[in-house]
Structure 1
Amino acid sequence: MTQPLVFVLPGYGNSGPLHWQSRWERDDARFVRVAMPDWERAFRNGWCLALDRAVEAARAPVLIAAHSLGTLTTAWWATRYARPAALAKVRGALLVALPDPAGPAFPADAHGFGPVPRERLPFPTRVVASRDDPYGTPAFARACASAWGSDFHDIGPRGHINADSGLGDWPEARGWLDAMGTTD
């Protein structure tokens, strides 16, 4: 079985060197960060097209490891932008720390991400939420997971599930992602 590529989709502002996404990327050559047109001024169309180009160019199956705004990018891409041939490459997505576009902390320079799509996503997904994420409530994450047909996992009070959350390499989530890559 061909090992999947893993596209890393950080959120607004990108992920720093101590973030679990960056750690995974450093530890495994299969992990590739999708470069967004502008990390500080996010427009849905540009971010979704960047993901689309990456998946279209992939010569192997794909997994997506998305954080924050990268999760909404994944949902929008899968429901509005992707062609069937690209969707067929995606084995699954880990969607961590969904931000609520209607929430008070949502970045003013992130445009077009709300309201979020409410259709079932066309590949397996797991939504992971924290009880004290300032960017999105567990109720918002659970509602998205339900609409998208995603597994849902609450990891307790871990903030925005980033470098400040004390997760280090976050082996539990890496296991969830790896498991998606072994299913057909």
Structure 2
Amino acid sequence: MPTPPKPAPPPAPPASKPSAPAAASCSASRLSPIPRPTAKPLPPAVASMRERIIKAAVACDYAGLQKLGDEKGPSVRFSYDPDQDMATTWRIQEEWKDSPQPVLARLVHVLNLPFYQEGNLYWWPTAFREGATDADFALLKGIYPDEMITDMREQKSYIGMRVGISADGDWQAAIQGD
């Protein structure tokens, strides 16, 4: 009686595919990259810059944000260390081990709030303007802790993230604090 043939070896495992790079992670990564519609129309250059800032923040693209800030020359005023660029500062704040700060999420949230115009600049949020109302401060709920909003309202002084874009689309300011 002939010996039965040996079973075929199992197929080789499929070649491993290179793993995709990990998705960027920051406080804004789960937010929508599509800006909310504004109540009043923005000039096209301002609307474009606002849209590109939101898109870069949601993508956690610090270098892209820095590039937008320097698009028309190094002009963005921002908070904190004057010897460090905006992108590095924000990355450090987002990644602080003991107390990470949701800088990019606040940037996106603020740019989705109503704006006001002061001269050649378009500013977000309206809580930053002189004579801001309780309604302006109420829009900040969920962006800042309730106690902080109450304090800002009582002091009539908004100290959160404020963003300014000039009428020609130059990102001028992204300031937090006093």
TM-score normalised according to structure 2 size: 0.30
